[in-house]
């Protein structure tokens, strides 16, 4: 059952749970309550967009997509005549102005972001600007690159008694990170970790991780996960920088580290209780 919506709760009104099955309700130019939809494009493979995201693209009149990150293959789900605008050269105000202009004309607008828009998507600042203008919006989540990368490797981030925590983070660069979230402190937990937006600093990243996990600890780099150019490198932290330099990988890739990478599939000691015949539970997944 859908939770009851509060008329006075702005966060609830903009919740992803409020997206109608039809994605866009029928509107006329006089009906301006049609929301701008922030849609997660997924990691790159056009078929890894959600069904709801695909429906939104099929119904859109205008799509403003993150052109430097979202492959144009995702636009195959739009109708002929849909206006597609790359935001690669646009600043925040230009993007918002584009959404506002299309919305004011009664058009159905999709703002298409790579992966899941809530993760390093810079969507909150866009939503704030839309709220200032009285423009409704909703969010359709997507598949983030960390999960496409795990699928490519055949990796489970949360193996019983090995790791039950996954940290998604990035190195501080032109965009700073809070002091308490510096990579060294996060690495000290020795949890499974997927590091975004940090390939240009691979040498520094490797040094920080080696201090926590050990220089001989296994790590992986997945370049353009799920896309035709996908490349997987499995190595150790002490060799990481040299490997990515040799492969000329400087962006569009994740660094993955954690004890789960070192588990021997031929000698799996720790298994989930979920499928243990002697373990009593209320349901089995």
CA 216 to CA 221: how far, in whole Å?
15
The answer to the question of residue 26 being in a domain is yes
| pLDDT score, position 4 | 39
Tens of pLDDT, residue by residue over 48-71, are 999 999 999 999 999 999 998 999
Q: Is the domain of 149 the same as that of 247? A: yes
Q: Is the domain of 166 the same as that of 250? A: yes
Q: Is the domain of 167 the same as that of 101? A: no
Question: Where do runs of H (alpha helix) occur along 28-144?
Answer: 51-59, 92-104, 124-132
Last-in-domain residue among 115, 140, 165: 140
Q: Is the domain of 135 the same as that of 150? A: no
The CA-based dihedral angle spanning residues 124, 114, 19, 79, taken in that order and rounded to the nearest 10 degrees: 130
| pLDDT score, position 262 | 93
- Residues facing 64 on adjacent strands: 85, 111
* Stretch 26-49: mean pLDDT: 79
Q: Residue 277: pLDDT above 70?
A: no
User: CB-based contacts of 112: which residues, under 8 Å, 6+ apart?
Assistant: 39, 41, 57, 63, 64, 65, 66, 70, 74
Last-in-domain residue among 103, 123, 140: 140
CATH assignment of the domain containing 238:
3.30.950.10
The answer to the question of residue 60 being in a domain is yes
Q: Name the residue range of residue 167's domain.
A: 145-263
The answer to the question of residue 91 being in a domain is yes
Q: Is the domain of 105 the same as that of 168? A: no
The answer to the question of residue 199 being in a domain is yes
> Rounded to the nearest 5°, which phi and psi values hold at 167?
-105, 125
The answer to the question of residue 36 being in a domain is yes
Assigned token pair, 21: 């099955």
The answer to the question of residue 284 being in a domain is no
Q: Is the domain of 199 the same as that of 218? A: yes
* Stretch 232-258: mean pLDDT: 96
Q: Is the domain of 64 the same as that of 38? A: yes
Instruction: Answer with the residue of higher pLDDT: 278 or 89.
Output: 89
The answer to the question of residue 34 being in a domain is yes
Q: Is the domain of 130 the same as that of 20? A: yes
CATH assignment of the domain containing 122:
3.40.1010.10
Q: Is the domain of 118 the same as that of 82? A: yes
Q: Is the domain of 222 the same as that of 156? A: yes
Query: What percentage of the chain carries pLDDT values higher than 90?
Result: 77
Question: Where do runs of H (alpha helix) occur along the chain?
Answer: 10-13, 51-59, 92-104, 124-132, 145-153, 183-187, 202-213, 237-246
Q: How many domains does the chain have?
A: 2
Q: Is the domain of 95 the same as that of 200? A: no
Last-in-domain residue among 83, 107, 140: 140
pLDDT-wise least confident of 142-156, 161-175, 265-279:
265-279
CA 189 to CA 277: how far, in whole Å?
32
The answer to the question of residue 45 being in a domain is yes
């Amino acid at each position: 059952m859908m939770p009851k919506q509060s008329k006075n709760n702005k966060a609830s009104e903009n919740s992803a749970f409020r997206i109608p099955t039809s994605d866009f309700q029928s509107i006329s130019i006089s009906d301006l309550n049609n929301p701008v939809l922030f849609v997660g494009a997924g990691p790159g493979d056009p078929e890894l967009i959600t069904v709801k995201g695909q429906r939104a693209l099929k119904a859109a009149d205008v799509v403003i997509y993150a052109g430097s990150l979202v492959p144009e293959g995702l636009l195959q789900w739009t109708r002929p005549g849909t206006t597609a605008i790359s935001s690669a050269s646009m600043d925040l105000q230009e993007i918002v102005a584009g959404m506002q202009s299309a919305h004011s004309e009664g058009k159905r607008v999709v703002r298409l972001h790579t992966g899941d828009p809530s993760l390093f998507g810079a969507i909150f600042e866009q939503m704030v600007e839309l709220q200032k203008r009285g423009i409704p919006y909703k969010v359709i989540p997507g598949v983030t690159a960390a999960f496409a990368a795990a699928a490519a490797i055949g990796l489970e981030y949360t193996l019983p008694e090995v790791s039950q925590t996954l940290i998604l983070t990035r190195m501080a660069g032109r965009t700073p990170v809070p002091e308490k979230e510096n990579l060294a402190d996060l690495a000290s937990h020795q949890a499974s970790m997927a590091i975004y937006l940090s390939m240009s600093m691979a040498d520094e990243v490797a040094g920080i991780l080696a201090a926590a996990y050990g220089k001989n600890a296994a790590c992986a780099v997945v370049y353009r996960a799920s896309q035709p150019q996908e490349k997987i490198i499995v190595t150790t932290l002490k060799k990481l920088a040299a490997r990515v330099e040799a492969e000329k990988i400087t962006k569009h890739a994740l660094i993955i580290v954690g004890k789960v990478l070192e588990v021997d599939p031929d000698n799996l000691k720790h298994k989930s209780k979920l499928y243990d015949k002697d373990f009593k539970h209320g349901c089995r997944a």
